[in-house]
Structure 1
Amino acid sequence: MSQPIRLVIHITTLPGRGKDQIAAFERTAPLVRAEEGCLQYDMHQVCDAPDRFVLIERWSSEEALAAHDVSPHMVEADAAATAFRAGPATVVQLVSEPLA
């Protein structure tokens, strides 16, 4: 059985376009949270930085994450995001358990 996958994703939008990122997340989040294997999918805005966000994801397995990445709603969301994002998101995968 594979270990849960934990991701921290840093997103920066073009200046003044943070509201577009929020709207896109609000449309997509219910679909993602309904995916098999999704354990967490939460976005937070960075304090005093309205165009910067951190997305926290947890998936039950590599297989669940792989299926998420090619789901129709994510393919569509990723294509639409190019209109308001400053560049590609930075994805950081964490080890499965916190350090002591």
Structure 2
Amino acid sequence: MSRPVRLHILITTLPGRGREQVDAHERLAPVVRAEQGCLQYDLHRVAGDPDRFVLVELWASRDALAAHDATAHMIAADAASPAFRAGPAQVIEIEAEPVA
């Protein structure tokens, strides 16, 4: 049986370019959320810092995540993000279930 995959993706934009990250997410989120296996896709701003974000993703399985990564819209988004990001995003996979 496939287990869910939860990702927390840390994103830092170039100074003053946080709005571009928000705009990109607003365009992309409805498309991603409609993908098979997408259970969560939410962007959160780091409190007190308009240029830092955490993207929270939850996928039903590794196969669903792999299919997401290979979509044309994600390939295009990844190609466009260096224009406003300070560097590569840091992807952290966490266990889907909290520690007791």
Q: Hey, what's the Cα distance between the residues in 1 that align with 2:23 and 2:79? A: 15
Q: Following the alignment from structure 1 to structure 2, what is the Cα–Cα distance between the partners of residues 44 and 96? A: 18
Unmatched tracts of structure 2, length 5 or more: none
Equivalences, count: 100
Amino acid at match of 2:78: D
Percent identity between matched residues is 64
The structure in which a higher percent of residues are strand is 1
**Structure 1 segments of 4+ aligned residues over 4 angstroms from their partners:** none
Across the aligned residues of Structure 1 and Structure 2, the Cα RMSD in angstroms comes to: 0.6
Give the equivalent residue in structure 1 for 2:66.
Answer: 66
In structure 1, what is the Cα distance between the partners aligned to 2:31 and 2:96?
A: 25
Unaligned runs of 5+ residues in structure 1 are none
What's 2:42 paired with? 42
> TM-score scaled to structure 1, two decimals?
0.98
Report the TM-score when normalising by structure 2.
0.98
Map 1:19-30; keep pairs closer than 5 Å.
19-30=19-30
